[in-house]
Amino acid sequence: MRALRSWFIAPSAVLMAVTLAVPLAIVCVYSVLTRGAYGGVEWPWTLENYSRLLDPLYGAIFGQSFGIAAVATGLCLVLGFPLALFIARSGSRKNLYLSLVILPFWTSFLIRTYAWMFLLRDTGLINTLLQALGLIRAPLPMLYNNGAVILGLVYGYLPFAVLPLYATIERLDASLLEAAADLGARPMATLARVTIPLSAPGIRAAAILVFVPCLGTYLTSDLLGGSKTILIGNLVQNQFTASRDWPFGAAISILLIAVAMALLLAVRRQGSELV
């Protein structure tokens, strides 16, 4: 048992050491260095980057990012679970339906975001149609606000919720569901008290896969939010590009990672580190 497992674990261990451990160590070191005059890092080491983070300005930014990511994740789970259920129960056409969920997401995320901008704009398709039908008189402001950002996030990350949910639901023991039905449970009760609890690993995986990227997003809030709000992702991206303050960007990243790790530990179940 031991030998096989060591062989199996070796490639990923090496990969993680090279692409994660070392670069992350570099980021940690950067976070306690000083900003170079035009970017990059310089030697005098300091904790100033972390003390800057105590400012309430950054707390507000973190708070808003968490809020938006949480809403988007919740929506993805609520919308994705019934879809995963449907696919898992479609018999022979399972794989077709699953592929159809993935298919739109093999096109560019950026293009799809632009398509939504076209739909949501004041002179976009939706407003034009609604006005033509006489349902509204002035265009609805559907773009360049937090709602548009959440819509973009849900649209972008729905398959990352559906796939793990499907992978778990697909192999649920059908006899358990039959037993529940035989015992007189109505479909909704079966769903709430049998299916969903049994799909817990898939739900946790889906939640992580959606929440984390949503937390670090910046393209969506730039494009659909009109760049009017600043989320953590924008803040970090700014530090490494426009502001050229790598140490501060590194400090924010370490804090972000720490918070996310804390979240993971909070939802941990016995004997399952990853989900």
Shorter beta-carbon distance to another protein: residue 21 or 136: 21
Query: Which residues, numbered 67-86, are part of the site for another protein (CB under 8 A)?
Result: 79, 82-83, 85-86
Cα gap 15→242, rounded to integer Å: 31
Which residues make Cβ contacts (< 8 Å) with residue 157, sequence separation at least 6? Answer: 72, 76, 209, 210, 213, 214
Gap between the Cα atoms of 32 and 6, Å rounded? 36
Tell me: does residue 233 bind another protein (CB under 8 A).
yes
Distance between CA atoms of residues 80 and 7, nearest Å: 36
Give just the sign of the alpha carbon dihedral 197, 201, 206, 211: positive
- Position among 69, 149, 237, 247 found at the interface with another protein (CB under 8 A): 237
Q: Shortest approach of another protein to residue 134 CB, angstroms?
A: 21
Q: Which stretch binds another protein (CB under 8 A): 69-77, 120-128, 129-137?
A: 120-128
32, 33, 35, 142: residue in contact with another protein (rule CB under 8 A): 35
Rounded to 5 degrees, what are φ and ψ at 41? -130, 155
Tokens of 244: 């050229």
- Range in contact with another protein (rule: CB under 8 A) among 69-77, 129-137, 230-238: 230-238
Closest CB to another protein among residues 135, 175: 175
DSSP state of 272: B
Q: Which of residues 143-202 bind another protein (CB under 8 A)?
A: 144, 155, 158-160, 163-164, 166-168, 170-172, 174, 177-178, 180-182, 185-187, 190, 201-202
Q: Is the CB of 133 or the CB of 182 nearer to another protein?
A: 182
138 binds another protein (CB under 8 A): no
Closest CA to 64 of 234, 245, 254: 234
Site size for another protein, by CB under 8 A? 138
Rule CB under 8 A: say whether 66 interacts with another protein: no
Among positions 46-65, residues that touch another protein (CB under 8 A) are 57, 60-61, 64
Which position among 129, 192, 193, 272 is part of the footprint of another protein (CB under 8 A)?
272
Residue 86 beta carbon to another protein: minimum distance, rounded to whole angstroms: 4
Q: What angle do CA 201, 261, 45 make, to 5 degrees?
A: 160
Considering beta carbons, is residue 73 or 246 the nearer one to another protein? 246
Closer to another protein at the Cβ: 61 or 153?
61
Helix ranges (H only) for the chain are 2-16, 22-31, 48-52, 56-88, 94-102, 109-120, 125-132, 146-169, 174-182, 187-190, 196-198, 200-215, 219-223, 232-240, 246-266
